[in-house]
């Protein structure tokens, strides 16, 4: 029995569910061709060596299976018809696999380990996303609080510096107060006898005799 590896690249924006749909189609082809599926290794998104269909990145998968070689053409036909598949390549990994059951056991263990790592990665990414959301929310609340404080400070400053204006004369209350004070001072000066230079002091009584 020969071991083959088919590596294919999927467009980067395709979801995990979309990738699993393609893998399910390939598994069906293997089953219908009596081939033995070993495992599918998910390499994740990687940068392409060169641009392909205007994409610089792609999601890499490697499907490993045992077969005499008849099913390879059917697999590649499915991949060729998938619009989301950018590239694919099938190679002969092992010319003669003697112990098929042992190879299947090794592949099952590797796939289980891969699934475990994927779960850990998903949990870690979810935790990091939650932390980012919390940080962004805290920053947003701090920004809103700072804006409210600035608004309150501006309103207080405007209130302290407000000047009333007489709608009839157009004068401010401060100007009118000063004018009124000046006017009152001038009237007081006019009515104060001591401050009138035209009034002479009362003369002493000339008829008073000396003792």
Indicate whether 124 belongs to any domain.
no
Number of domains in the chain: 1
CA distance 163 to 161: 7
Matching residue, tokens 């699993």: 20
CA distance 166 to 82: 82
CA distance 101 to 208: 155
- On the question of pLDDT at 205 being above 90, the answer is no
CA distance 108 to 64: 11
Spatial CA neighbour of 5 closest among 83, 77, 89, 95: 89
Strands (E), the chain: 2-10, 36-52, 55-67, 85-94
Starting at the earlier edge strand, list the strands of the sheet with 36-52: 36-52, 55-67, 2-10, 85-94
What pLDDT score was predicted for residue 115? 86
Indicate whether 56 belongs to any domain.
yes
- Kindly report the CATH number assigned to the domain that includes residue 54: 3.30.70.60
Q: What is the pLDDT of residues 121-165, one digit of tens each?
A: 888 888 888 999 999 999 999 999 999 988 888 888 877 655 555
Indicate whether 71 belongs to any domain.
yes
Q: What is the pLDDT of residues 36-89, one digit of tens each?
A: 999 999 999 999 999 999 999 999 999 999 999 899 999 999 999 999 999 999
Indicate whether 62 belongs to any domain.
yes
What pLDDT score was predicted for residue 162? 54
Spatial CA neighbour of 78 closest among 28, 38, 13: 28
Indicate whether 181 belongs to any domain.
no
SS3 for 187? helix
Spatial CA neighbour of 18 closest among 59, 75, 65, 62: 59
Record the pTM: 0.60
Indicate whether 186 belongs to any domain.
no
Indicate whether 160 belongs to any domain.
no
Indicate whether 174 belongs to any domain.
no
Range of the domain at 51: 2-98
Question: Other CB atoms closer than 10 Å to residue 35's CB: what's the count?
Answer: 23
């Amino acid at each position: 029995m020969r071991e083959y590896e088919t590596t294919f690249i999927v467009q980067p924006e395709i979801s995990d569910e979309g990738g699993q749909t393609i893998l399910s189609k390939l598994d069906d082809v293997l089953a219908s061709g009596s081939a033995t599926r070993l495992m599918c290794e998910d390499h994740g998104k990687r940068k392409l060596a060169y641009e392909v269909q205007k994409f610089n990145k792609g999601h890499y998968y490697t499907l490993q299976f045992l077969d005499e070689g008849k099913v390879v053409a059917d697999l590649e036909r499915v991949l060729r018809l998938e619009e989301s598949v950018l590239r694919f390549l099938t190679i002969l990994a092992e010319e003669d696999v003697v112990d098929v059951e042992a190879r299947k056991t090794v592949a099952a263990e590797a796939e289980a380990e891969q699934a475990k790592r994927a779960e850990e990665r998903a949990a870690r990414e979810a935790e990091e996303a939650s932390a980012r959301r919390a940080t962004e929310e805290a920053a947003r609340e701090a920004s809103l609080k700072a804006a409210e404080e600035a608004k309150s400070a501006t309103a207080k400053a405007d209130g302290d510096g407000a000047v009333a204006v007489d709608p009839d004369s157009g004068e401010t209350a401060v100007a009118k107060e000063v004018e009124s004070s000046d006017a009152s001072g001038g009237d007081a000066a006019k009515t104060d006898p001591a401050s009138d230079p035209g009034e002479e002091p009362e003369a002493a009584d000339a008829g008073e005799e000396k003792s």
